[in-house]
Amino acid sequence: GQQVMQIPQYQHVQEGEDFTTYCNSSTTLSNIQWYKQRPGGHPVFLIQLVKSGEVKKQKRLTFQFGEAKKNSSLHITATQTTDVGTYFCAGDSNSGYALNFGKGTSLLVTP
């Protein structure tokens, strides 16, 4: 079945440093979604990418979808302590409603 691999598992940065998390799928995705979960919280939708090669920006966050629609990345420029949390990618393989979540990247930002 479809698998979505996400790396790294953990990342510890100093405030102001950049951060990137990567997702790779074993199959072509119809779209990929990104969620953020704060410690003790629930996943919150960040963005959905649909088109091959798509790039979207939200303030300091940049999301990319690969040309083959099998990989994606989330890059945060100049991290802040408010960026702390676990970032999940979730791929939709066009099989219906089931999203396949990556294992997540836990980001810790120290001031």
Partner 1 sequence: DTEVTQTPKHLVMGMTNKKSLKCEQHMGHRAMYWYKQKAKKPPELMFVYSYEKLSINESVPSRFSPECPNSSLLNLHLHALQPEDSALYLCASSQDDRNEQFFGPGTRLTVL
Which residues lie near partner 1 (CB under 8 A)?
30-31, 33, 35, 41-45, 48, 88, 92, 96-99, 101-104, 106
| Alpha carbon distances (Å) from 44 to 36, 37, 47, 76 | 5, 6, 10, 17
Q: Which amino acid is at 103?
A: K
Q: Report in angstroms how near the CB of residue 4 gets to partner 1 at its nearest.
A: 9
The distance of closest approach from Cβ of residue 98 to partner 1 in the complex, given in angstroms and rounded to an integer, is 6
Per-residue tokens: 50: 């649909």
22 vs 101 by CB, closer to partner 1: 101
